[in-house]
Amino acid sequence: MAEKINIGDLMVESYSDKTLKAYSGMIADPKSVFGLGSAAATSSMCAASMALRALRMTASEDADMLHAEQDMEKLRVYFLHLVDEENKAKKPLEKLLKQENADDTELEAAYRTACCIIDEIFYMSIRIVETLEPVADKICPCAAHFASAAVHFAKCGMDAVRIQKAVYAGKMNEPVFAHTTKREPEIAIENNAELFDRLIKKFESAE
């Protein structure tokens, strides 16, 4: 017989209902469901917001700029959604970790599930920068500092995910999957380093 679902487990904190003051307090609280994944999504949400501001400050009617603005707004909203989704994804893991004799197979599965949404946060953070790249030459110098900060904040979100996945990998039992969990974000960061550094240099030298 399948395990009976505890209705209370279906309730999760919603970021959209929190003030910044409350949210920062929850991040600092060891008992809170909000954690590094939530912080990663928030960093990348800020990245999308600053990129969007740079696009809007430029105020171009260019079709590519307008398309980039539309996509960036979708990313901004999506990262807010991912904060809540990340909390849901790690709910089974949080529950198992409270049990004294949790089943190793169930724990392994829960760690993998917990990685699902932070992976989405990670790769959508890259999408922010990829969305900026085609219009980088069109962003006005008056807005370039926001664009540069956006890239930095996207990197921060990615690094937060990398750190969290390294922690999860260290607790997994299956060595190949554990290695993959740890190395995948490291490799992706290495592969995108040139793009990120090039855009930062371009935006910070804008005149």
Question: CA 122, CA 51: separation in Å to the nearest integer?
Answer: 17
Tokens of 196: 């990120």
Determine the pLDDT at residue 9.
Answer: 53
82-113 pLDDT, tens per residue? Answer: 988 998 899 889 889 889 888 999 999 999 99
Statement: residue 142 has pLDDT above 50: yes
Mean of all residue pLDDT scores within the chain = 91
61-90 pLDDT, tens per residue? Answer: 999 999 999 999 999 999 999 988 998 899
Query: With a threshold of 0.75, does the pTM exceed it?
Result: yes
Determine the pLDDT at residue 75.
Answer: 97
> Which residue, 129, 191, 136, 181, is CA-closest to 157?
129
| DSSP three-state, residue 18 | coil
Determine the pLDDT at residue 20.
Answer: 85
> CA separation (Å) from 158 to 68, 124, 173, 197, 205?
21, 9, 24, 14, 24
Determine the pLDDT at residue 6.
Answer: 55
